[in-house]
Amino acid sequence: MVTSATSLGRNGLYDWLMQRLTAVLLGLYTLGMLGFFLFCPDPDYQSWSGLMGALPMQVVNTLVLLSIAAHGWVGLWTVATDYLTTRHMGGPATAVRLVVEVLIALALLVYVLWGLVMIWGGA
């Protein structure tokens, strides 16, 4: 058993499931968006605003936003723990990895908060 303090759920199964469930949601959302642009090839502000302003879409967008954050964190944390290691870069690796992980977490947090304002801010 390897202890991981910075993984999403501190648990391999949780992270693995979360990455796959969010991938399914993001995949379906992408297909939905493709469908929208396919059947509405010349979207104007009215149709776009009508779609994104509807309550069900706001809920879906919030779920998608959280999914991107969770999926992104699991994936980028994995990349960081693969490449930013003492095996690759020697002694400073742990400090570098921690800084990179904090930057990724901050970026995702800003992205989520900013996204929530966009979704629920009533533009």
Which residues contact other proteins (rule: CB under 8 A)? 1-4, 7, 11-17, 78, 81-83, 85, 87-88
User: Please, which residue, 19 or 61, has the CB nearer to other proteins?
Assistant: 19
Q: How far is the CB of 94 from other proteins (least distance, A)?
A: 14
Q: Quick one: which of 77, 59, 82, 70 has its CA closest to 17?
A: 70
User: Please, which residue, 65 or 84, has the CB nearer to other proteins?
Assistant: 84
**CA gap 86, 97 in Å, rounded:** 10
Q: How far is the CB of 28 from other proteins (least distance, A)?
A: 21
Helix, strand, coil shares of the chain, percent, nearest 5, are 80, 0, 20
Q: How far is the CB of 82 from other proteins (least distance, A)?
A: 5
User: Please, which residue, 83 or 114, has the CB nearer to other proteins?
Assistant: 83
Q: How far is the CB of 102 from other proteins (least distance, A)?
A: 18
User: Please, which residue, 7 or 62, has the CB nearer to other proteins?
Assistant: 7
Question: How would you classify residue 4: left for phi > 0, otherwise alpha for psi between -120 and 50, otherwise beta?
Answer: beta
| Beta-carbon count within 10 A of 118 CB | 13
Length of the chain: 123
